[in-house]
Each structure stands twice: as C-alpha cells, then as structure tokens.
Structure 1
Amino acid sequence: MPGRNASAPLTLDQRGYPLVDGQPLKLPPKERAVLGLLLRRRGQVVSKDEFAAAGWQGQEMSDESLARCVSQVRRALRPLGLQVETLYGLGYRLHDEAEAAPRGVEPSPASRGELQHLRQQLQQRTPAAVGLVMERARRLVAAEPAYGAARVVLADALAVAVNWGQLPTAEAVQEGLEALAEVSPDEPGVDAARGALLDMAWRFDAAAECFQRVQAMDGDNAEALLACSRHLLFTNQAGRAVQLLRRVRELAPHALHVRMNLARALVQSGQGEAAVEELRLAGEDHPGQLVLLAFTLAMQAMVAPRDELAAAATRLTDGLDTPPFVWTVASFVYARLGRREAALDIIDTALLCSATTAGEASLHAASLAALGEYDRAATLLERAAAERAGMLALVLRDPAHADWLPHHPRGRALLRTVFGEG
C-alpha cells in the first residue's frame, strides 16, 4: 500500500484482520493469524504452540511452515517500523524497531575473539567440534544479538550438524533461517549460509538463487564458495564443483575441509586417482588427523580396494572412543574387500544402537550396496527420506551408489523424492 510509514497505526478489526490506517493489510490466512496473535500480545513472547492453535487450527504445523509465515510477516511490517524478534527456544515477539537491539553496533573485543575461535573450530568439521560451535555460537548471539557475523557462524554450524545427522533437519533449518533473518544482506557469508540451510531442506532451486549471489558478491570468500561447491555436488554438477573447489584451494591452500571436499568432487566426477593423490598431499599437511585418515581410507577402498586396507581399518577402530563415522568407514572398507561378516557385524551393531539416527544409519547403505544388499540399503535410505534427513542429499550422490541407485525401482523413487529426478 503506497504511503505507509513507521507512524502509521497497525490495529485489528472485529474479525481479527490487521489494518494500517484503517485499510486492510493484505496477507494470506496463516500469516494473518500469526500477525494477529503477535499484535494482540505485542511486547510479549508468543510460543510455537500458540501459533499452531491460532493459525493451523489443530492441524500439524511444521517448524519450516511457521518460519515461512513469520518471514512474510516481517516483510509486511518492515515499512511500518515494526520487527518480529526471534527468541531461541521460546518463540517470537513483536515490537518497534527502536526497541530492538540496534544493528551495526560494534561487538565487544571479547566477542570478536570468541567468533574467530569458533570459525577455526568449525573448520574441523567433526561432530564434536560442530556441537561445541553450535552451543557457544548460540550463547554469543544471545549476548550480542546485533552481531550479524555470529549469526552467520551459528547458521553455518547448524547446516554442518544436519549434514552429520546430529540434528533434526526441519528444526535446525528453521533455527538457522531465523537467525539469518536478523542479518543485513550485506553481511559476508549470509547468502552462503542461507543456501547451505536450504540445501539441507532439499530446496535446491531456492538455494541456487543464494549461490548465484555468492559468486557475484562473495567471490573471494573461501567458506562461501565452499558452500556453493557443495550445492553443485548435491545437484549433480561434480565437474563444475571440481573447478570451483580448485579455486577455493588457491584461496585457502591449507584448509583441510577444502581438500576433502575437492577429493569428494573428484571421485564424483570420475577422477578417482586424482582424489587419492589430493588426499595424500593433504595428509602431508595434516598428519594424524582422524577425520582425514578415515576419509582417505574410504576413498582408497572406493577407487582401488586392496587387502592391506583391512589392517588400516582395524587400526583405525582400535580404541574405546572410536567415533561412529570411523566405524562407518571400516564397514565400507570390509564390504569393498568382500569381508561380509566383518562389515555386517559393524552395521548390525550400529543399527541396534538407539542413539543412531536415521541419517547416520543411511551412511551404512554404501556398505550394504557394496555387498549386493540393495534392498536393505534402500530401506535405510528410505527411512532417512521419511525423516527428511538433510544429509541424505549428499549420501545419494555418493559414487558408491552410482551403479545401482538409478537402476533400482526404490532407488529411482528416492531420487525423485529428494531431487525430483526420474
């Protein structure tokens, strides 16, 4: 509506419809209900359950659906000088922008130091490191709500956690998108973080728009371009991903996660020997890194399986605190070498563990496929799809599935579900 400004009064009519200067504010029904509840409770926190009762009238409300509604309400209120604030774990609150934490306020030196440390931790890309970064980034955002860079790191950590299967996809994506909704579009890395979250939600077209902006505006940001390259892997553009990752490697030549992603892209594009060589060189720069040792072993088993890899897998799992991803690699190595009993023993033990999520379990599908257990592999992948596990997109693009997935009826159905292919 032309002529709206921050002084225009926002009210509700007798039916609960929002009015600006007495004129209807056009919104879809759910968004109208969300705004009505926020306006009636102005200045107070409104919980997700209250939104579900008001706007969804007893029907199931997904976190992503509520986040989309709130996003539209924010856009409608911005010209009026009103803001919908996210309070993590609690809900939302409506207030004037003047009451909100001011944007552009310089964070404290301690907060800047903490953020730099979190960025370094996140580069490790291990489940333990990602969990630590999420916890501390949430505290940092709570302490410095106007610190846009901290919100970007939180969103990045949430996307990586989903990719490891550590968090339910819908909740993590919603939390990340809500965090980014408060960030200036000029903040470095914000488009890449949003695109990574959308990829985890299998919203690849929306993610592609984010990554187009990344390449146009964040062309020297290694982390942003890395997220863009992963989008290319999700969307089966491995050749382009290799080209982009080589550019990223020039920007960050010693970053381990960049080298590992490049190796993955090389394998996915049919350049297995080049991938193994890339990992050998990475090992010289990062000796003894468990995640690299495990990843290298998996790539070697995929490209050129040989008997001595079994001993390496046994050494890697020789300990009381072996992480789950290492056991996944060991099962794959044994499966590729035809050691059926050893591989199935690991898989069956993992699947019996109540702490194993459907996403984590889907990683064992590659081992089952290597053993010719295609139906059982499909079952694990279908369970992950039913839970909309964000990590499934990359799992399905694993070269270990390339020879059977497109030719198996259940495999084709999975590709349609996640990517719309077939």
Structure 2
Amino acid sequence: MIELDDMGVPRLKQGGPLKLAPKERAVLAQLLRRPDGVVSKAAFAQEAWQGEEMTDESLARSISRLRRVLKPLGTTLEAHYGLGYRLVLEAPSTPQDLETLAHARQLLVQRTPAAVTRCIELARGLCARSAGLLEARIVLVEALVVAILWGQLPTAAGVAEGMALLADFGEGRRDFPGFHAARASLLDLAWRFDEADEHFTLALRSEERVDTLMAYSRHLLCMDRCAEAVDVLRRVRQLAPHLLHARMNLARALVQGGAGSEAVAEVRAAQVDHPGTPVLQAFALAIEAMVAPRKELEAAAQRMTDGADAQPFAWSVLAFVRSRLGLRDATLDIVDAMLLCSATDAGERSLYAAPLAAIGETARARALLEAAAEQGCGILGLVLRDPAHAHWLPADPAGQCLLKRVFG
C-alpha cells in the first residue's frame, strides 16, 4: 500500500506521494525502512529532526497526525513504551466500512437517544467484522458513555463493555487518537476520577481532538473545576463553532461557576443556531429557570410534554421550572407521577432531586441521590455538581457523606 520512491519519499504504491508535512514525511520514511522493527526516539531525533531539538510532545504530535493519514490505508503505528514506534500493516478497511464509520460518528454528534442507539448498533457491527478498524472501537466507547449518561445503559455493563474494547488495543497502541480520553470517560463513570485525570493528561499531551476536549470538560465539571471547564469549552467552540452539545456544556459550566447571565446568553445564541431542537429547548428552559425564573417558562415547558411522543426529560424540566416558580403542588404532581409510574432507572430518577430540593423536599431529594449511588450510576458525578444542589447538599451531613462516597 505504501512504499518509498527512489528519492526516499513515502508514496502510495498505486498513486502519488502522500500529503505530509516534512517532519511527518521523515518519520514515516524511517518507519518504512524498518517495517518489522521498532524505531527509537533517539533515531527519530537524529534522522527526522536532524539535530533540531525534539521533545516527546513534538514526536507524539507527528505520530498522531500520521495515524490520521494512515488509518484509512490499513496501517497502524504501535507505541512500545520506553523503546519507540513500529509500523504495522493490516488489511485495509473497505469503503463501505469507512462510510458506516462516518455515519456512526454523525449519529453520535446528534446526541439524541435514538441516534446514540443506532450509533452503538453500527459501531458494534464494525468492531465485529473489522477488528483492525481501531477508530470504530473509540466511537463505540464514546457512544456507550453517552448512552450511560442518557440512562439507556446500566453503568456497570456499559463500562465493562467499553473497557473490554480498549483492552484489545494492547500496550503498543495506547496512544492511538482517542484511546486515553475514551478510557478516562469510562473511569469518570466508574467514579475513578484520579485515574481519569491521569489519562486525560496523557490524551491532552499529544492531541487536541474536539471529542477529547468535550470529555475533559465533563471531567472538570465533576471535579467542580468550573473555570477550567469554561476555558476548555470555549476552545471547543473555536474548533467547532456549531457543535450543539459543546454550547450546552458551556452554558452548564457557566451556571455551575456562577455566571448565570452568560449561560442564558449562550443557550439563547445556541437556539438561534439550532432552531427547533427539542433537547436544546428543554435544556435552555432549565437554565433560564435556574438563573431567572419567570411565568412564561412554564407554558413553554408544558408544551414540550404535549403528545404521546414527549421525551422523558421534558417532564423533569417541567417539574424543575415549576419548582423554581414556587409551585409546590404542581411540582409534586409531576414528580410523584413520574417516580411511581414511569420505567426509569435510579440515574434518571436522580434528575428529579433538583425540583424536590427547590421546594424544600431535601429528604426526598437525598433519597433519590442515595439510591443512584447504591446502583453506582455513572451520571451521578454530574448530578451532584448540579447548581440546583449547591445550596443544600454540601451543608447536609448525609449529603456530605454522599459527596465523599462519589468523589472521595
């Protein structure tokens, strides 16, 4: 598939030279000269950098860029800890598989329960029939993380499946783009935040993928490092100005950090950019109710629950809006009905802790959060940091125990 021409320049066997920057071209040329062996960092420094200073980070960036170019060609770069890198030729993925992978990624960006379910189906199929397509494993893990956060998958089962997918990478491929961020996301869901922090450090050292930054922002919110999360999400907005869930996460980070008016401005701007998006509409109502509750929000939230196809999250938003307006009985009507009659797991039920806390029902709110903790629900890290709980949970003795249980 790839060879060196007479001038020592990497090229496709049935095509022209690969479009690479000089450093990446020199690195690939070295690897092609030793297709079955490991090229050491010292060798790269001597030949590819030719006396210029080479840092671990600069080499890692070159390797990361090369992987993106080589991935569709069925070629992988393996990292061998303490030694260097090795070129591994694999069976190339079919055009159909690559198209399926692209479609799965598009579905994941939509962030709706139905789209995430379909993404998981497609990615599982790709992993089963195209073992060398490592990006399919990364996409599947990312989709599993979102499904757990949506309450579509039990945390334990989803984390176990994701960890098994990443374990197949082996020691030599763990700097594949997205690997460390994917593992860190799973560790966050398992409340292993210190380990997750280590993997995010490794991920950010060599790459600036939007998906990595998004996952890192969630980690920072769990750690209550709101200012850092805002900075990361503003960087995401520069890289991907129209990415919906980035703007939603930014608004959440702003509220959590005490910048409510900026959060409202962010969700209103996002609604202009993404008109008629139900998830965003519900989220925007919750943000506005948290920052500046007003009667008009109730009617808008009520409309989202009309019809047989109303999304479950619409009811939790309506309950929260009513609770922020001081409508105690109307809030309890929704909460009691949903907790008694709907088929929700402990993670989804924990979302009703916010409206209960807002009307002073902190004992019931705490019980929902503790039930989610008993089941190890991955979403609980974010739920506990919800600004709706900031006024009571840290001051409540049982709440303090809950925070310590999850965050250590």
TM range (shorter): 0.7 to 0.9
Matches for 1:20-419 after TM superposition, within 5 Å: 104-183=90-169, 184-219=173-208, 221-353=209-341, 355-419=343-407
Unaligned runs of 5+ residues in structure 1 are 1-78, 80-101
Matched residues in 2 for 1:163 and 1:216: separation?
A: 26
What displacement does 1:103 show?
7.1
Deviations 1:121-141 (A, max 9, x none): 111222222122112211111
TM-score by length of 2: 0.76
Query: Paired residues, what number?
Result: 319
* Contact persistence 1:165–1:390 (CA under 8 A): no
Amino acid at match of 1:190: F
* Contact persistence 1:105–1:147 (CA under 8 A): no
Task: Among all aligned residue pairs of Structure 1 and Structure 2, give the percentage whose two residues are the same amino acid.
Answer: 56
Higher mean C-alpha displacement, 234-243 vs 140-149 = 140-149
What displacement does 1:186 show?
3.1
**Helix, strand or coil for the counterpart of 1:214?**
helix
What displacement does 1:354 show?
5.4
Deviations 1:212-237 (A, max 9, x none): 01211112x11111101111111110
Matched residues in 1 for 2:336 and 2:97: separation?
A: 45
What displacement does 1:104 show?
3.8
Matched residues in 2 for 1:195 and 1:213: separation?
A: 10
What displacement does 1:362 show?
0.2
Deviations 1:267-317 (A, max 9, x none): 111011101101111111100000000000000000000111111111111
Amino acid at match of 2:100: E
CA shift in 2, pair 1:300/1:402, >3 Å? same
Amino acid at match of 2:398: R
Matched residues in 2 for 1:408 and 1:386: separation?
A: 18
What displacement does 1:106 show?
2.1
Q: CA RMSD in A?
A: 1.3
Matched residues in 2 for 1:169 and 1:406: separation?
A: 25
Deviations 1:394-414 (A, max 9, x none): 000000000000011121111
What displacement does 1:161 show?
1.1
Matched residues in 1 for 2:137 and 2:377: separation?
A: 23
Matched residues in 2 for 1:298 and 1:103: separation?
A: 50
* Contact persistence 1:218–1:225 (CA under 8 A): no
* Contact persistence 1:163–1:391 (CA under 8 A): yes
